[in-house]
Amino acid sequence: MGKGGPPVSAEQSSLPHRVALISLHTSPLAQAGGGDAGGMNVYVAQTARRLADRGVQVEIFTRATGSDQPPVVHWHPGVLVRHVVAGPFEGLDKIDLPGQLCSFTAGVLRAEAAREPGHYDLVHSHYWLSGQVGYLAKDRWAVPLVHSAHTLAKVKNAALADGDRPEPFGRVVGEEQVVVEADRLVANTATEARELIELYGADPARVDVVAPGVDTDVFRPGDRSRARARLGLPADARLIVFAGRIQPLKAPDVLVRALGELHRRSPDDRWRLVVVGGVSGSVTTSPDSLRELAAAEGVADRLEFRPPVAPELLAEYFRAADVVGVPSHNESFGLVALEAQAVGTPVVAAARGGLTVAVRDDESGLLLPGHDARDWADALGRICRDAALRERLSAGAVRQAAAFSWEHTVEKLLDTYRRAIADAAAARHPGRSVPAGTGERVGSR
C-alpha cells in the first residue's frame, strides 16, 4: 500500500505521452466553494497543469453546464478542457447525473474516435461517476485506468451529519465496480487506502497513496491587518473563518453554535465568523438556516457570508483570520486546512479522515474528536486569546504546509501512471519489458 509493486525501472521511466482526465460532474474551470465545486476542482486543475509542464499532454473531459461554453478550451499549454454535452445545462443535481452517463460516455468516446488509434496512453478518472465512464473508455481504447475516488459513499454514510441524506445504493455499487475495473487506485491518505481495501475489497498491491499539495506561491504568509483592511473586516475582531461549500457534511453550523458559546462567555469580545462559500447539497444547511441558528444563539450580527472567491482572494481571508475552522464530518483530505496553514493561520479541525493528516494536533492547529459546541468554543477561544499559542501554531502551520507540494503530488502520480502502463504492457506481452509511454496497449481496437 503506497508502494504498489516493484520499483519502476529506468527502462520504464519515460513519461506517458497523453492522458485523458475525466471529471464529469465538476470542471477545473469552475469556482471552488459553491455548488459541486470544491477540493476536487483544485486537485484536477493543479495536477493537470503540472503534468503538462512535465511534457504530458492532458485532455480533461467534463460535462457542459452552459450553452455559452466552447466545446474545447485551450486552458494551459498542454491542457485541453473538453465540455461534453450531456443532459440539460442547468437544473441538474449531482444525484441526477447517473442518468446522463450514457450520453456523456458517448461524447468522450466520440472525441477519441476522431483521433488516430492509440491517441491516449492512460485514463485517470476522478470520482465514481467519472470512474464509470473511465472503465468503459479503458476497454474501448485498450489503455489502463487510474482512478481517484476523492470521497467514498460507505465512509460518508457512516458519518452523516444531522439532516444530511445518505449516499444512494447505486453509488455504492458503482464505486465497487470501479474498484474492480481500475488498474490502479490513488488514495489521498493511508486511511483512505485502508478504506478502499477493507470496505471495497481493493487489492492492496494496486493502491497508491498520493497526498494532495498546496500552492505556496498563492497561499503564503502575509500581513493580517492589511488583509483585513482589503476585505473590509474589523481590525480588532476575534475573527474565525470558514471556507467551503455550505452543506451538512462541512458542518458550518458547528461554528455558529461555537460562536454563540463564545459570545455568552465573553460578550465584550468582538467575535466574528465569516463564511466564505456557496450552497451545495441538501438545503437543510443554507445561509438562511445558519442565520436563523445565529439569531437563536444571539450572534446574528456577528455572522457574515461572503461568496466563493478565487484562490488569491481566499488566501487573503485566511491571512485575515485568527483561526480557520474546519468542522467537517468527513474529508478525504481537507485542502482548505492545508491552504490556511500555508499562510500561517492555525486551524481547528475535526479529527476525521484526511484532516488528521493535513493538521498536526498542537503543532499546526488543534484536532477535536467530536462536534460539541463547547469544545469548539474552547479551542477557538484559546487560539484567539492566547497570542503565544497562536504564534507557535502559526509557525508550525507553515512548516506543516511546506511538507506538501503539488510538484511532489505529480511526481507520485507519474510513478503510478508509469506502473499502470508497464503492468498493462506486461499483461499484453508476458515476459517482455515494455517502456511506459510507447503506445503499447493491453488490447486492440
Annotated binding site: 25, 36-41, 94, 127, 151, 171, 245, 250, 309, 318-319, 321, 331, 339, 345
C-alpha torsion sign, points 311, 317, 322, 327: negative
Residue the block writes with cell 483544485: 42
Residue in 278, 239, 230, 232 with CA at minimum distance from that of residue 259? 239
| Beta carbons within 10 angstroms of residue 100's beta carbon | 20
Query: Which residues belong to the annotated binding site for Mg(2+)?
Result: 318-319, 321, 345
**Type of residue found at 438:** T
**Type of residue found at 364:** S
Query: Which residues belong to the annotated binding site for 1D-myo-inositol 3-phosphate?
Result: 25, 36-41, 94, 127, 151, 171
Instruction: Determine the Cα–Cα distance for residues 20 and 295; give it in Å rounded to an integer.
Output: 49
Residue in 282, 349, 315, 277 with CA at minimum distance from that of residue 31? 277
CA distances to 41, 63, 258 from 82, rounded to whole Å, are 15, 8, 44
CA distances to 158, 217, 247, 345, 359 from 355, rounded to whole Å, are 17, 22, 18, 15, 6
CA of residue 149 relative to chain centroid, distance: 10
Q: Look up residue 361 and give its DSSP letter.
A: B
Query: Which residues belong to the annotated binding site for UDP-N-acetyl-alpha-D-glucosamine?
Result: 39, 245, 250, 309, 331, 339
**Type of residue found at 289:** S
Instruction: Determine the Cα–Cα distance for residues 416 and 187; give it in Å rounded to an integer.
Output: 11
Beta carbons of 149 and 332 less than 8 angstroms apart: yes
Residue in 325, 133, 116 with CA at minimum distance from that of residue 240? 325
Instruction: Determine the Cα–Cα distance for residues 40 and 58; give it in Å rounded to an integer.
Output: 17
CA atoms within 13 A on the CB side of 348: 31
Strand, helix or coil for residue 273:
strand
